[in-house]
Amino acid sequence: MDGRQLLDWYSQHRRSFPWRTPFPRDPYLVLVAEVMLQQTQASRVAELLPRFLARFPRLEDVAAAGEDQVVAAFAGLGYYRRARLLHRLAQQLVQRGWPQDPHQLRQLPGLGPYTAAAVAAFAFGHLTPPVDGNLARIAARLLALPLSAHSAQLRRQATALFSQMAQSQSTPALFEALMDLGATVCRPVSPLCGQCPLAARCLAFQKGRPEDFPLPKPQRARETPTWLALWLENPAGEVLLRPITEPPLQGLWLPPLERGSGEVETRLRRLLGELGLGGEPKAVGRLSHRITHRLITVLVFRLSVPPQVGENGRNGRWVSVEANVPTSSLAYKIARLVAEAESQRSITYG
């Protein structure tokens, strides 16, 4: 399988993204994009990458910034450990320079087999395949391998297959072609085999069962906790954010949350007690938020408080709504719910 048909297909169907500049690419751009692309949809990265680059135009800017600033620039992307590792990585690279070999890149914090290969390929022209979910799935189907998507075996087979293909074409563009093929044609469900340039060579297609490969991964049990969120607003229009001290969302700043269990009223009192507050919070509404295998229901309450209540390191700090702090999408969801409730109220009673 030489991959020429694939490159032909790619020349007609290439998707455009901010990080897809001509080869060889700026290593910094590749690095940031690839780290963001870890388990994050390309469309989402396309939205948020420009914001990050505007805040940190150069690698040196990341290295010189505080960790929290880098995490803040990742807000909305999830997997915030990536931002912390990227910060460490930037400092190492500024100190010691860029390795170009995938094996050496692999040693750096935050770069696993995929990202190390991707940076080596797209920034430095190496032909080691960055095996992501797309490449693994395509390999499983081409060879009709009954292996689960994340198995080490499948990864090895995919590496061997696409390594050979890349040698014959000698361009890392082949890897992008495979990723686009996986995203748009060789999709996880309902693959469009009629449009696939590799269908003639695909054993899964010949079997008539493309969707049987790779094997589905066993599903995990799901938790469905209920959290309470308290939206506190002072007369200056600021809201109180607190750092979360335990995972999930550890280290991020959100409105005070109560993540225990039991009766809602009891838990609300407990939360108020922690903050040294009294008063009668008003129920604003509920929202749902998913974190990995958890499906979380968040009950949102609001309360207006006098100035300076709860102002200290442990209990949080008052910030304006648009403050640049490390936070999560959940904070935006809560803010949106409160804002919507507010506008409803002014419409209804206004």
In the complex, the smallest distance separating the C-beta of residue 38 from DNA, rounded to whole angstroms, is 4
Q: Taking a C-beta distance cutoff of 8 angstroms, is the pair 9, 181 a contact?
A: yes
Applying CB under 7 A, the span of 244-252, 261-269, 305-313, 317-325 interacting with DNA comes to 244-252
Per the annotation, the verdict on 47 as an active-site residue is no
Out of 7, 67, 91, 133, the only residue in the binding site for DNA (CB under 7 A) is: 133
Element holding 239 (H helix, E strand): strand 239-243
Applying CB under 7 A, the span of 53-61, 158-166, 218-226, 273-281 interacting with DNA comes to 218-226
Nearer to DNA, 19 or 162 (CB): 19
In the complex, the smallest distance separating the C-beta of residue 276 from DNA, rounded to whole angstroms, is 27
Does 20 bind DNA (CB under 7 A)? Our answer is yes
Nearer to DNA, 102 or 310 (CB): 102
Q: Taking a C-beta distance cutoff of 8 angstroms, is the pair 258, 251 a contact?
A: no
Which is it for strands 253-254 and 226-233: parallel, antiparallel or unpaired? unpaired
Q: Taking a C-beta distance cutoff of 8 angstroms, is the pair 204, 141 a contact?
A: yes
Out of 1, 7, 94, 149, the only residue in the binding site for DNA (CB under 7 A) is: 149
Residue 261, class by beta-carbon neighbours within 10 Å (0-12 exposed, 13-18 middle, 19+ buried)?
exposed
Applying CB under 7 A, the span of 49-57, 182-190, 301-309, 342-350 interacting with DNA comes to 182-190
Alpha helices in the chain (DSSP H): 4-13, 27-36, 42-55, 59-64, 67-73, 81-96, 102-105, 113-124, 133-142, 152-169, 173-184, 203-207, 264-275, 329-349
What is the three-class DSSP state of 231? strand
Does 23 bind DNA (CB under 7 A)? Our answer is no
Contacts with DNA, residue ranges (CB under 7 A): 17, 19-20, 33-34, 37-44, 76-81, 85, 109-116, 118, 130, 132-134, 137, 149-152, 176, 179-180, 182-183, 188-190, 216-217, 219-220, 222, 247-250, 289-293, 328-330, 332-333
Residues noted as catalytic: 34
